[in-house]
Structure 1
Amino acid sequence: MTIDEILSPDQVAVGVRTASKAALLDDLARRAAQALGLDAASLRTALEKREGLGSTGVGDGIALPHARLESVRRPFGCLVRLRDAVDFDAIDERPVDLVFLLLLPTDAQGSQFNALACVARRMRDTEAVAAMRGARDAGALYATMRGSRTAP
């Protein structure tokens, strides 16, 4: 599975303002619901349920909120860079400024099953993350997440 199969350019945003983890999850659920034609409240509930198992704030200012849903047919991603970092209960207790939402089908198989690993691998690349933080706009952020050599 590649980033291109998970994330589309119209699901990338830079300079997103949010006041808290709860507000951020609301915003992400709304964005995903609009893109997928689903109910935002259901998405939010699924994200909260997953966060209840342990924070998806993986450290170094990065969060990877994710959920499996019957209503999702293929992996869906949304990448946002926050204007100001927010507390996300991350494992290193640092605030988060880069967030990749991933929604997966409940019956993900084969390459779909590896979508989270694909995203996590890219978000662990320190050079890529630095470039994402320096990206001038959503297009440059998308290109960097994809691994394109386009300058941020």
Structure 2
Amino acid sequence: MKFTELLTPDNIRQGVVASSKKALLEFIGRIVGKQVNSEQFTGLKCFESLFGREKMGCTAIGSGVAMPRARLPVGDKPIAVFLQLTEPIDYEAQDKRKVDLILAVLVPESLCSSYSANLSELSEKLTDKNLTKKLRAAQSAEEIWQVFEFADAYLDESVKEEAATTSN
């Protein structure tokens, strides 16, 4: 799966200030709540869903990156939000590293089973050192989008090359 298939430029925030994991999840909840625009799934419900998932296990994936996720009770396509923080926050990561890059993914309940492999693939791509370096250096949401466009082309090509090498 490509970042640009899941994410939209409107859901990228650069230079976000967050004091804690909870504040960060609340911020994501407000962004997603406005988009879903449903009495059934408000920003508060989105936060509760993300926070509830976080209680089951930390969604930090290492190297200062987190990928919080939750289920959407409504909708027919996933919603993703990417945040670049100005200062890293304690995210209770296994590697003890503070987090400053976050890709939140909310998947409609009807699509959850078909997206589990996609989320693993994205998680792996998100820990690529070149990608995280470029995402941290980006100075605007537009630059972050361009980094993801480049990553989609480059990381997909390197995966294809690796698959071709191992099959020979």
Query: What is the TM-score of this pair, normalised by structure 2?
Result: 0.81
Aligned with 2:70 (options 59, 67, 71)? 67
Deviation at 1:111, TM superposition (A): 5.5
- Structure 2: 5+ residue stretches without partners: 154-168
Higher helix share: 2
Deviation at 1:106, TM superposition (A): 1.1
Give deviations 1:84-113, integer Å, cap 9, x for gaps.
Answer: 111111111111000000000112167644
Q: Tell me which stretches of 4 or more aligned residues in structure 1 moved more than 6 Å.
A: none
- Letter of the 1:48 partner, please give it: F
Contact 2:61 2:93 in 1 (8 A): yes
Deviates more, 1:84-93 or 1:112-121: 112-121
- Structure 1: 5+ residue stretches without partners: none
- Letter of the 1:123 partner, please give it: L
**What is the number of equivalent residue pairs in this alignment?**
149
What secondary structure does 2:91 align onto? coil
Deviates more, 1:110-119 or 1:39-48: 110-119
What secondary structure does 1:26 align onto? helix
Query: What is the TM-score of this pair, normalised by structure 1?
Result: 0.89
Deviation at 1:59, TM superposition (A): 1.4
Q: CA RMSD in A?
A: 1.8
Contact 1:75 1:112 in 2 (8 A): no
1: CA distance, partners of 2:8 / 2:114: 18
1: CA distance, partners of 2:112 / 2:22: 30
Aligned with 1:142 (options 120, 140, 145)? 145
Deviation at 1:62, TM superposition (A): 0.5
2: CA distance, partners of 1:65 / 1:148: 20
* Identity percentage of aligned residues: 28
